[in-house]
Amino acid sequence: MDLGGGSEVLHIPRLATRETAWEWFDCLEKTIPWTRPDIRVFGRTAAQVRIFSVSH
């Protein structure tokens, strides 16, 4: 799937074992500076459902 700007997503079923996939996920979660900003809706503030990584 082309995401534009030279980015794309490629799905390859069973590329890695479940354990390896979780190792990759843990590595990404720990090494990328994720943020979950607050959003204000109908006068109430809550954390956004999605997390983001801002790169420059």
**Other CB atoms closer than 10 Å to residue 3's CB: what's the count?**
8
Convert the pLDDT of each residue in 3-53 to its tens digit: 888 888 889 999 999 999 999 999 998 998 888 889 999 999 998 887 778
Give CA–CA dist 34/11, Å, rounded.
Answer: 23
What does the domain layout of the chain look like in residue ranges?
A: 2-53
CB 21 within 8 A of CB 12: no
Angle (CA) 37 43 48, round 5°: 20
Q: What is the pLDDT of residue 56?
A: 52
CB 34 within 8 A of CB 54: no
